[in-house]
Amino acid sequence: MDFKKLPPVQEQLMKCVRCGKCRSVCPVFAEVGIETTAPRGHVFMVQMLRDGKVEPTNEVYERLGQCLLCETCSINCPSGIDVHELNAAARSYIYDNNPSVGKELLFETLWTKPAMLRSSARVMSAAQKLGLQSLARKTGLTKILPGDLKEAEQMMDNIPSKSARSRLSEINLAREEKKYTVGYFLGCGTDLFSPNVAVAAVDVLTRNGCEVIIPKDMKCCGLPHIANGKIETAQKLAAHNIKVLNAYDFDYIVTDCASCSSALSRKNMEFLFAGLKIEDAALALSEKVLDLTVFLIDVLDIRLPQKKTAEKIRVTYHDPCHLANAQLIKDHPRELLRRIPGIQLAEMKAPNTCCGGSGTYSTTHYEMSMKILDKKMDNAMETGAKILTTCCPSCIMQLSYGCKRHNWDVQVLHPVELLSRYYQS
297 makes contact with ligand SF4 (CB under 6 A): no
Residue with smaller CB distance to ligand SF4, 69 or 294:
69
392 makes contact with ligand SF4 (CB under 6 A): no
225 makes contact with ligand SF4 (CB under 6 A): no
Binder to ligand SF4 among 22, 302, 380, 385 (CB under 6 A)? 22
Residue with smaller CB distance to ligand SF4, 78 or 99:
78
69 makes contact with ligand SF4 (CB under 6 A): yes
Residue with smaller CB distance to ligand SF4, 50 or 118:
50
Binder to ligand SF4 among 21, 175, 314, 330 (CB under 6 A)? 21
Quick one: three-class SS letters along the chain? CCHHHCHHHHHCHHHCCCCCHHHHHCHHHHHHCCHHHCHHHHHHHHHHHHCCCCCCCHHHHHHHHCCCCCCHHHHHCCCCCCHHHHHHHHHHHHHHHCCCHHHHHHHHHHCCCHHHHHHHHHHHHHHHHHCCHHHHHHHCHHHHCCCCHHHHHHHCCCCCCCCHHHHCCCEECCCCCCCEEEEECCCHHHHHHCHHHHHHHHHHHHHCCEEEECCCCCCCCCHHHHHCCCHHHHHHHHHHHHHHHHCCCCCEEEECCHHHHHHCCHHHHHHHHCCCCCHHHHHHHHHHEEEHHHHHHHHCCCCCCCCCCCCCEEEEECCCHHHHCCCCCCHHHHHHHHCCCCEEECCCCCCCCCCCCCCCHHHHCHHHHHHHHHHHHHHHHCCCCCEEECCCHHHHHHHHHHHHHCCCCCEEECHHHHHHHHHHC
Binder to ligand SF4 among 3, 8, 9, 16 (CB under 6 A)? 16
Residue with smaller CB distance to ligand SF4, 68 or 336:
68
Residue with smaller CB distance to ligand SF4, 16 or 117:
16
Site string for ligand SF4, 300-339 (x = CB under 6 A): ----------------------------------------
Binder to ligand SF4 among 9, 45, 73, 218 (CB under 6 A)? 73
Binder to ligand SF4 among 77, 121, 186, 254 (CB under 6 A)? 77
Residue with smaller CB distance to ligand SF4, 71 or 203:
71
Binder to ligand SF4 among 6, 45, 67, 272 (CB under 6 A)? 67
- The alpha carbon of residue 357 and the mean position of all alpha carbons in its chain are separated, in whole angstroms, by 9
Rounded least distance, CB 398 to ligand SF4, Å: 15
43 makes contact with ligand SF4 (CB under 6 A): yes
Rounded least distance, CB 275 to ligand SF4, Å: 24
219 makes contact with ligand SF4 (CB under 6 A): no
Residue with smaller CB distance to ligand SF4, 23 or 165:
23
18 makes contact with ligand SF4 (CB under 6 A): yes
Binder to ligand SF4 among 4, 5, 11, 17 (CB under 6 A)? 17
Contact residues for ligand SF4 (CB under 6 A)?
16-22, 26-28, 39-40, 42-43, 67-73, 77, 79, 81, 83-84
